[in-house]
Amino acid sequence: MSLLTQAGAYPDRVSDYNGVTSPTPVQFDKRVCSYQEKPCQSRGTCTMKTPVQIVTVSPEESGQKLFAFLRARTGQHLPEALCMRVVRTGQVRIDGRRCKPFDRVLAGQTVRIPPLEIQNQAGPQKNTTSVSVERVFENSDMIALHKPSGLPVHGGSGWTDSLRDRLAALPWPTPFIPVPVHRLDRDTSGIVLCAKTHACVRAMHAQWQSVTKAYLCWVQGVWPWKSWHTLTSLLEKKKTTQGQRMVPGTGKTAITHVLPVASQADSTLLLVVLGTGRTHQIRVHLAQAGHAIYGDGKYGTPGSRLLLHATMLRWPGQSILCWPDWQAPYTITSALRQRVVHILDSAPTKEASHV
C-alpha cells in the first residue's frame, strides 16, 4: 500500500496533534515561523554539554542505524566522528550490551547515551527567511509542507534556519522528528514531503523513482511550442567563475517535459514534469532553450524571487497539490489552477520517460 493518501488540491481539513481538526493550510507556531538561531558571541568554539541518558527506542524510530539514532536524539549536533568513537569505545550500550555504529535499533530497546561535550565552530552566520511554513497534507505516516522560497531544506554552510530546523523546534508527540525525504533548491518554493517514522523514510525512498513531480514557473519570452515538448541533454556539474553550475557535457541524461499554460506580455507560465531529477535540471534546460525562469540569478537574470514552484507530487491514483503564492502579475488564479489540474490528469509520468 502506498504511503501517500489521497489529498487532492487541498484537503478541506487536517487533524491537529491534539485530535482537533482545523482548516487547511495550518501555519506553524509563530515561534517556529520566525525561527532564528542566535549565533555564538564568543570566538573559536561553543561547547554544549549533555548529561548521561538512558532512552527507549520508540516504534517510530525502530529500524534506524545506531549512529543516525544518536544524531537525531542529540539534535543533529553530534559530529559523525564523535558518534562513531563513543560507540566503538563502548560508551554507548543497547540493552546494556556493546554495539556497533551500524547496528539497527528496535522498538522497546534501551540505549545508553554517554555525557557528551559537543563543540560548534563559531563564525559568520547567514539567516534566510522568516516566512511561515504551511502544512498542505498530513497523515499518520508523513507530512507535506509548503516550503517558501529562500528557506533551505537542510542547514549547513553558515545558514541558521532551515526546514529541518523548524521541524526540530516543534513539539512532536513522539521522539522521532519528521525527516525530509527529498530536497528542493533553497530558492525554489513548493511541496516537501517529510516522513514521520523511520519505516516511512525507507518505504518512500524505495518508491521515490516512481513519483511524478510537476512544477510551475514563469519564464522570459513567448514559449514557441503549444503542446508538450521534451527537452533532453547531458548535464554535469562544473566549477565556474560564478561558482558551481550544471552545464551541458558528458554527464547524466536529463529529461524535462514542458507545456505552456498561459502567457502575458513577454512572459509564459509553464507546467513542467520531470522525467529525471538532476540538479537544477529545469533551470538549465529552460535557460538553454532561451527562456530563463524569472528571478534565476544563476542561469538567467537576477530578481527578487525565483518563480519556480514544486506544485504536485503523485503516485498512481494519488496526488498532493500545492499552489504558489506569487503576487500580481504572476498570480495563479482559480481559473489557472483548474486548468493545471485538468492538464495534470494526462501529463507525462516517470514511466513514460523510460528512465
pLDDT of the residue at 23 = 34
* Residue 281 within a domain: yes
Q: How far is CA 27 from the centre of its chain?
A: 17
pLDDT, tens digit, 9 for 90 and up, residues 220-236 = 999 999 999 999 999 98
pLDDT of the residue at 267 = 96
Record the cell numbers describing residue 241, joined without a space: 567563475
The mean pLDDT values, 10 residues at a time, for the chain of 355 residues are 36 33 34 37 58 94 93 78 92 96 96 81 53 89 94 78 87 90 94 95 90 96 96 86 78 94 95 94 95 93 92 85 95 96 85 50
User: Do residue 230 and residue 344 come from a single domain?
Assistant: yes
Residue 289 half-sphere exposure toward CB, CA atoms < 13 A: 25
User: Do residue 219 and residue 346 come from a single domain?
Assistant: yes
Q: How far apart are CA 31 and CA 352, in angstroms?
A: 44
* Residue 129 within a domain: no
User: Do residue 335 and residue 229 come from a single domain?
Assistant: yes
* Residue 146 within a domain: no
Is the pTM above the cut of 0.85? Answer: no
Q: How far is CA 215 from the centre of its chain?
A: 14
pLDDT of the residue at 216 = 98
Question: Where does a domain end: 121, 138, 158?
Answer: 121
Number of domains in the chain: 2
What value, to the nearest 5°, has the Cα angle with vertex 115 and ends 111 and 117? 130
pLDDT, tens digit, 9 for 90 and up, residues 53-69 = 999 999 999 999 999 99
* Identified catalytic residue from 185, 187, 325, 345: 185
* Residue 71 within a domain: yes
Task: Determine whether 185 is an active site residue.
Answer: yes
Could you tell me the residue range of the domain that residue 244 belongs to? 211-353
Q: What is the CATH number of the domain that holds 115?
A: 3.10.290.10
Query: Using an 8 Å Cβ cutoff, are 50 and 73 in contact?
Result: no
Record the cell numbers describing residue 113, joined without a space: 547515551
